[in-house]
């Protein structure tokens, strides 16, 4: 491969020496040193909380290190704010975009520049740069109408216009379909070949092995290793990252039972101009089956969960649970009948942040666990249930009196999913069950869902993590722009097929457009 | 440089300490204000906060007055606090208070001069219903058309005041004394009189109702699903939806409860201490109750103490008017300062002031 110039020829671009940053109660970075060469694609690998974000924030001037120094092209480099970093040729694309939906592409780009040229010149430059790097982008379109992949292009083009020497990318592929990932990688390789170094943050090992020349692995704030990711297997990298041996989840063989959940031409008009509406969604789910629904964020996942949990209602016949039409019932009525859900957002949706775990147990368990009588709450029984969930799902907490917001993401997620599983449902719907959760907790949650399916419950997993879906799902479908593809058996699906299912409507017009 | 730093958890200490601190600061600022008016600040503060209870000369008059002034404040504030916890802001308790009084007095005047044990209970029901009805206007407008309940309930206070004036001058005017505005004196109509239950104690049915409301509200907030849903909706609206709370239902319930209690307070006032429907019947209890609710930390027990304190300022205000010729507005300034200091101090339950040198790292 042309872009891989080999280590020996590289001049160092940025040297990090002994960077240390402490926050109250936690050492976010502890004596981290490594080098990034000119034109190198350097991976920064680690779990949530390993210190990746803090490290790049120091490089980008958002955080000041307590100790250590940085040397950029032979000069001491200590940016006090991002604009100083940008002047020195360091640019960053954040995981969460900072774009205004109601403005067009050129206006958004101008907002992020120090001295933006007149909009007309800027539009031309955006066209030039986006074509040069294979990132087609129309500067006059409203950002609110763009897909996640296109929004990311806006951010990248904004960086490229400043002609950076080092481009930092934080989890760039988490919002992309496999095809969009290919496009992005092509761009990054081109940039690398032209001498721009890229610091690529990810926890997706296959991507890193495909793209990067060198990888630095962080764990618990410390550098564990710097290595050539191509010389390691994904599994070796994962174990370096996690610090323990990982076992893939067991998928018990089980016979599929009768259809328990039937969704028939479910539609929803979105009342938010930039929200997604659901169009004619139909599928059925059998007892013991795990159905995975893939899709890039913002294609109707949240809306689908709300319509299944009962937070949004529909004509009764559009959702059937066993023999009952339940589309018009609210969340508690559905829970009583055996349908439970765990939304994506843990804090604020699946749990109230300022309430204790005991109080949060009541949120969804009141009906099925009979925790109230004439509306009066049996706090003792509620607390016993909370403790049971904590014990069974290995939630690390000093006790059930702790506020939900005091728990780490992974622990709270275990609690929330555990709470729903302990309700012994016939159907469980989960959205992004392991988002932002460390690998050990993620494996635990997936196993718990599979065990539940093994006991005869139907499981619907909505997720953006393809690896997760392929690990747990028996059957597979994808959401794009509010439409659901036909359900296919998960076995034997190739990543290309999945990508086409996921991305269909973005780049090519799907055949079923007319049916809406 | 001074930085404001958000606390990881709201400070429990300041939550409890702030009401006391706010009272102390109000006394201090009030003292300065009195000094600027040329009065002896120490004497004025003493007159407002201590003499109504401890003075030998005024005590026997003032002590029962304390319950009479505090009961409506507590009754209204308990209802408001439930709504405030759910982020449903009924600012118009004053209006519901007036309409409740008009409904209660209306029933009494309809039956006049018949005797009957059932008349007073009917007035209680009518008062509660009147307040409820007036609160349903912002409730239904909010659930139907998503209007802002703060504005609608507040503006309806002025409508209620106009209705009150019209009633005092027209429909409800006492026909036996031509030329004077105001209804018959209900204190002279035995079947409708909300009399003192124990002579010289100041305890009337409104005080009993306030105590019952406090107990019910406490039980509801701690032990009942409805109280749980109220807190959930206030803290995390999306989680409340997930838990099956219907926002529409909650708006109706919260505005309904607070309207009902305000209406009750108005009815007990008009049939007892107030005595008659007069143009100047409304004395701001509905607004002062907002201060009571916050000062009591939206907690029914806390509201009892806050209600007594603000009741005290009413009586002390009257005393200081009499004894020191302080302007009558000064007591409103006093009450306003109390809320102002409390809200300002509450900032530090969630934030911490930090003094640092140079750039924050």
Confidence of residue A101 (pLDDT cuts 50, 70, 90): confident
Q: Is A350 close to B239, i.e. CB distance below 8 A?
A: yes
CB contact A375 to B (< 8 Å): yes
Nearest CB partner across the interface for A349, out of B228, B239, B359? B239
Partners of B356 on chain A (C-beta within 8 Å) are none
Q: How far apart are CA A434 and CA A446, in angstroms?
A: 8
Mean pLDDT, chain B, integer: 91
Whether A429 shows a pLDDT value over 70: the answer reads: yes
Which pLDDT tens digit goes with each residue over B286-330?
A: 999 999 999 999 999 999 999 999 999 888 888 888 888 888 888
Beta bridge partners of A321: A261, A324
Tokens of A154: 């806006």
Nearest Cα of chain B lies from the Cα of A339 at a distance, in angstroms, of 13
Tell me if A363 and B246 make a contact (CB, 8 A cut-off).
Answer: no
Does B356 lie at the interface with A, CB-CB under 8 angstroms?
no
Q: Cβ contact (<8 Å) for A377 and B225?
A: yes
In this predicted structure, the answer to whether residue A514 has a pLDDT above a threshold of 70 is no
Q: Using a CB-CB distance cutoff of 8 angstroms, which residues of chain A are in contact with residue B354?
A: none
Q: For domain A12-242, which CATH number applies: 3.40.50.300, 2.30.38.10, 1.10.3720.10, 3.20.20.60?
A: 3.40.50.300
Nearest CA in chain A to B242: A311
Mean pLDDT across the stretch A481-489? 90
Residue B349 Cα, gap to closest chain A Cα (Å): 14
pLDDT of residue A369: 93
pLDDT in tens, A176-220: 777 888 888 999 999 999 999 999 988 777 888 888 999 999 888
3-state secondary structure chain B: CEEEEECCCCCHHHHHHHHHHHHHHHHHHHHHHHHHCCCCHHHHHHHHHCHHHHCCCCHHHHHHHHHHHHHHHHHHHHHHHHHHHCCCCCCCHHHHHHHHHHHHHHHHHHHCCCCCCCHHHHHHHHHHHHHHHHHHHHHHHHHHHCCCHHHHHHHHHHHHHHHHHHHHHCCCCCCCCCCCCCCCCHHHCHHHCCCCCCCCCCCCHHHHHHHHHHHHHHHHHHHEHHHHHHHHHHHCHHHHHHCCCCHHHHHHHHHHHHHHHHHHHHHHHHCCCCCCCCCCCCCCHHHHHHHHHHHCCCCHHHHHHHHHHHHHHHHHHHHHHHHHCCCCHHHHHHHHHHHHHHHHHHHHHHEEEEECCCCCC
* Residue B265 reports pLDDT greater than 70: yes
Q: What's the rounded Cα separation, in Å, for the pair A354 and B8?
A: 11
**Residue from A510, A501, A505 nearest A476 by CA:** A501
CA gap B33, B344 in Å, rounded: 19
In chain B, pLDDT over 90 holds for what percent of residues? 65
pLDDT computed for residue B220 by the predictor: 96
Nearest CA distance, A291 vs chain B (angstrom):
22
Structure tokens at A134: 């294979």
CATH 3.40.50.300 fits A259-515, yes or no: yes
Please count the structural domains in chain B.
1
CATH number of the domain encompassing residue B139 = 1.10.3470
Q: Measured between CB atoms, does B238 come within 8 Å of chain A?
A: yes
Peptide bond into A112 cis (omega under 30): no
Q: Which residues of A touch B216 (CB under 8 A)?
A: none
Chain B residue with CA closest to A343: the answer is B242
Query: pTM here?
Result: 0.78
Q: Residue B338 domain-assigned?
A: no
Cα–Cα distance, A44 to A56 (Å, whole number): 9
A229 interfaces chain B, CB cutoff of 8 Å: no
- The domain locations on chain A are 12-242, 259-515
Residue-wise pLDDT tens digits, B154-190:
999 999 999 999 999 999 999 888 888 899 999 999 8
Question: For A115-124, A433-442, B271-280, which range has the lowest pLDDT when averaged over its residues?
Answer: A433-442
B267 located within any domain? yes
Interface ipTM: 0.85
Alpha helices in A310-408 (DSSP H): 331-337, 357-365, 379-392
Q: Whose structure tokens read 């009065």?
A: B39
Sort A478 into a burial class: Cβ within 10 Å, 0-12 / 13-18 / 19+: buried
Answer yes or no: is pLDDT of A287 > 60: yes
Cα–Cα distance, A22 to A54 (Å, whole number) = 10
Cα distance between residue B186 and residue A383, in whole Å: 53
What pLDDT score does A511 carry? 40
Q: Quick check: B236 and A349 CB within 8 A?
A: yes
Question: Does B246 sit within 8 Å of A375, measured CB to CB?
Answer: no
Interface test with A, best of B239, B240, B354, B361 (most A CBs within 10 A): B239
Query: Are A377 and B228 an interchain contact pair (Cβ–Cβ within 8 Å)?
Result: yes
- Ranking A267-281, A407-421, A422-436, B215-229 by mean pLDDT, the lowest is A267-281
b/e B239-264 (16+ beta carbons within 10 angstroms → b): bbbbbbbeeeebbbbbbbbbbbbbbb
CA–CA dist B201, B197 (Å, integer): 8
Say if B360 falls within a structural domain. Answer: no
User: pLDDT band for position A5 (50/70/90)?
Assistant: very low
DSSP, collapsed to helix, strand or coil, labels residue A155 as: helix
Instruction: For residue B359, list chain A residues with Cβ-Cβ distance below 8 A.
Output: 64, 80
A26 touching B, CB under 8 A?
Answer: no
Domain extent, residue B199, equals: 38-326
CB contact under 8 A, B244 and A332: yes
pLDDT value at A7 more than 50:
no
pLDDT tens digits, A12-58: 899 999 999 987 767 889 999 999 999 999 999 887 778 888 899 99
Instruction: Supply the DSSP string of A132-147, one letter for each residue.
Output: HTT----TTSBGGGS-
pLDDT value, residue A515: 38
The closest CB to that of A376, out of B224, B240, B244, belongs to B224
| Distance from the A371 Cα atom to the nearest Cα atom in chain B, whole angstroms | 10
In a domain, B348, yes or no: no
Picking from B223, B244, B361, the nearest residue to A331 by CB comes out as: B244
- Selected for mutation to probe chain B from A67, A373, A375 (highest B CB count within 10 Å) is A375
Q: Which residues contact A314 (CB under 8 A, 6 or more apart)?
A: A266, A267, A268, A307, A327, A328
Q: For chain A, percent helix, then strand, then coil, each to nearest 5?
A: 35, 25, 40
pLDDT of residue B231: 95
Residues of chain B found within 8 Å of residue A348, distances taken between Cβ atoms: 236, 238-239
CB atoms near residue B225 (< 10 Å): 20
CB contact under 8 A, B231 and A351: no
């Amino acid at each position: 491969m042309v872009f891989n110039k080999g280590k020996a020829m590289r001049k160092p671009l940025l040297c990090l020496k002994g960077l240390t940053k402490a926050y109250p109660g936690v050492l976010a970075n502890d004596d981290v040193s490594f080098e990034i060469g000119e034109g190198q694609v350097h991976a920064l690998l680690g779990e949530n909380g390993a210190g990746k974000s803090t490290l790049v924030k120091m490089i980008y001037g958002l955080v000041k290190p307590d100790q250590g120094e940085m040397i950029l092209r032979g000069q001491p480099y200590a940016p006090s704010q991002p604009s100083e970093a940008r002047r020195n040729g360091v640019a960053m694309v954040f995981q969460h975009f900072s774009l205004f939906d109601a403005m067009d592409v050129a206006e958004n780009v101008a907002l992020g520049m120090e001295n933006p040229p007149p909009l007309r010149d800027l539009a031309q430059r955006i066209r030039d740069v986006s074509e040069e790097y294979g990132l087609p982008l129309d500067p006059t379109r409203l950002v609110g109408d763009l897909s996640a992949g296109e929004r990311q292009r806006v951010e990248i083009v904004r960086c490229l216009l400043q002609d950076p020497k080092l481009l930092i990318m934080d989890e760039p592929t988490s919002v992309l379909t496999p095809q969009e990932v290919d496009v992005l990688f092509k761009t990054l390789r081109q940039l690398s070949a032209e001498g721009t170094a890229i610091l690529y943050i990810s926890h997706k090992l296959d991507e890193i092995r495909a793209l990067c020349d060198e990888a630095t692995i962080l764990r618990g704030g410390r550098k564990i290793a710097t290595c050539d990711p191509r010389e390691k297997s994904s599994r070796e990298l994962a174990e370096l990252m996690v610090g323990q041996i990982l076992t893939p989840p067991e998928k018990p063989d089980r016979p599929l039972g009768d259809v328990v959940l039937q969704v028939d031409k479910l539609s929803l008009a979105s009342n938010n101009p930039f929200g997604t509406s659901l169009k004619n969604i139909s599928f059925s789910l059998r007892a013991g089956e795990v159905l995975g629904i893939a899709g890039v964020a913002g294609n109707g996942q949240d809306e689908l969960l709300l319509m299944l949990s009962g937070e949004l209602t529909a004509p009764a016949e559009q959702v059937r649970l066993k023999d009952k039409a339940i589309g018009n019932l609210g969340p508690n009525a559905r829970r009583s009948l055996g349908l439970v859900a765990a939304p994506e957002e843990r804090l604020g949706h699946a749990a109230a942040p300022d309430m204790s775990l005991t109080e949060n147990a009541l949120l969804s368990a009141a009906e099925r666990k009979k925790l109230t009588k004439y509306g009066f709450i049996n706090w003792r029984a509620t607390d016993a249930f909370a403790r049971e969930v904590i014990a069974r799902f290995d939630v690390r907490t000093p006790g059930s009196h702790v506020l939900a917001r005091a728990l780490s993401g992974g622990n709270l997620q275990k609690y929330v999913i555990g709470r729903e599983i302990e309700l012994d449902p016939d159907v469980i719907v989960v959205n992004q069950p392991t988002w932002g959760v460390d690998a050990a907790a993620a494996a635990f949650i997936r196993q718990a869902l599979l065990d539940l399916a093994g006991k005869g419950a139907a499981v619907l997993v909505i997720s953006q993590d393809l690896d997760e879906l392929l690990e747990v799902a028996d059957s597979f479908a994808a959401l794009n722009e509010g439409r659901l593809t036909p359900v296919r058996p998960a076995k034997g699906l190739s990543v290309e097929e999945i990508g086409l299912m996921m991305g269909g409507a973005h780049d090519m017009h799907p055949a079923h457009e007319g049916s809406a | 440089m001074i930085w404001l730093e958000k606390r990881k958890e709201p400070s429990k200490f300041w939550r409890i300490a702030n009401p006391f601190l706010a009272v102390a600061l109000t006394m201090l600022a009030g003292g300065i204000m009195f000094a600027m008016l040329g009065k002896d600040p120490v004497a004025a503060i003493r007159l407002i906060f201590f003499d109504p209870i401890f003075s030998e000369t005024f005590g026997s008059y003032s002590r029962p007055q304390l319950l009479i002034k505090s009961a409506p404040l507590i009754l209204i504030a308990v209802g408001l606090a439930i709504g405030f916890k759910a982020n449903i802001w009924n600012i118009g308790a004053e209006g519901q208070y007036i309409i409740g009084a008009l409904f209660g007095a209306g029933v009494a005047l309809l039956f006049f001069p018949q005797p009957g044990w059932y008349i007073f209970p009917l007035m209680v029901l009518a008062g509660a219903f009147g307040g409820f009805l007036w609160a349903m206007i912002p409730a239904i407008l909010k659930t139907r058309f998503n209007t802002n309940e703060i504005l609608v309930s507040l503006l309806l206070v002025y409508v209620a005041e106009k209705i009150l004036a019209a009633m005092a001058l027209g429909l409800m005017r006492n026909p036996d004394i031509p030329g004077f505005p105001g209804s018959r004196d209900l204190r002279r109509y035995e079947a409708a009189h909300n009399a003192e239950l124990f002579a010289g104690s100041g305890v009337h049915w409104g005080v009993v109702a306030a105590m019952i409301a406090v107990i019910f509200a406490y039980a509801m907030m701690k032990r009942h699903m409805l109280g749980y849903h109220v807190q959930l909706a206030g803290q995390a609206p999306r989680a409340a939806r997930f838990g099956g709370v219907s926002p529409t239902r909650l708006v109706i319930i919260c505005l309904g409860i607070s309207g009902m209690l305000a209406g009750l307070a108005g009815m007990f006032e008009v049939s007892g201490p107030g005595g008659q429907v007069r143009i100047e019947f409304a004395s701001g209890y509905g607004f002062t109750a907002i201060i009571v609710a916050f000062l009591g930390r939206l907690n029914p027990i806390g509201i009892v103490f806050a209600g007594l304190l603000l009741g005290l300022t009413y009586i002390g205000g009257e005393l200081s008017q009499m004894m020191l010729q302080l302007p009558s507005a000064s007591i409103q300034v006093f009450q306003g300062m109390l809320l102002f200091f409390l809200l300002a101090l509450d900032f530090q339950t969630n934030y911490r002031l930090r003094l640092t040198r140079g750039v924050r790292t």
